[in-house]
Structure 1
């Protein structure tokens, strides 16, 4: 079934790769991003003959913004059958230097955001008759990592959210799963590395990974697209690490 899907954080990185793979599989899509222009560029890069695509500005920290984006998608696509909670944000900082503003922003985007999007999309998923929710966490929540305590805690909450919603939403035939990326070649990783020692840091990370490279956005997107498809219809409550063997939950 090529169900209509909402992808948050669709304007780049993993989100853009998810959009490309889901479009190739025939899913109509709502590309939601705080930077609507970035999402427009992702949409424009899709090949001719693509399924219907709607671009919607969305700030996952705002209920009004989330509701408006979902309403726009449903109005133009006619329905909504799934959500990919990909939007995220991180500013690495030791816990002792994590002030209240950074803590608030980290939790708002990375934990409250997926909760809010899932809550607001739920009536449409129930109306559709079945659904897919795929949450994107982080292996920082599974194995730990220095200088991201608030981010790791938020992503740990996303994993707990998946487990709770798996039970709550099963009666509606809505599956809920988590994809947990390890270090991935995105602008976020580059910015983190540049703050420390640039390419040398990325190379050191890659040497610690059994497959000897960081993930590409497509590696993560493949797992997300799988959970969105019919082949994963009996999988729910699963946490899948995409980390080249670095994390083995």
Structure 2
């Protein structure tokens, strides 16, 4: 996992990124030339009103979509030059995802939910189990490893989801409204966890509508009308 201030190119670099959906009269330009840099070890909160382009940008950063034009570099490699299989490999090997909905398998234990990405990789059971326990330990849930989601609080379920994202030891954790389904107390609990993970060296990009949650980040990027409107320093929480 990356450390802030490491030498070399930025971890993530977007230059002139555009995204157009549809064609002809039905065409909609979601991104109009996004420039954005993320250094290793940063904790970036992405904010903006609905339709500002923040979710489209996160989909591009997560290799879930491709830009219409512009340059997206990850570790100095131009991602748009990769084919579908190469982008899929980048996504599996270097990126971890946390969503507003916890997306846990209902009848499966916390430990087995966390193991899933490694199961898809074809890792042996002993390797999966050890890595999943390590990830659950990161989020303070080893005592609940055998519990199903129904036996966990919302905050605990999100911790399991974060552990599942961490189990592959990604370079970047992409979090899309990770506190959106939680009350204020649980939201702050999750944000404190993300801040601790960032301080341990994990680079985090998070979309949020809530300024209180964005204040936990080191950098806050504001989107409007398909471009980056402003960048400010966070870290006030």
The alignment's TM-score, normalised by the length of structure 1, stands at 0.30
The alignment's TM-score, normalised by the length of structure 2, stands at 0.30
Higher strand share: 2
* Larger RCO of the pair (alpha carbons < 8 Å, separation 6+): 2
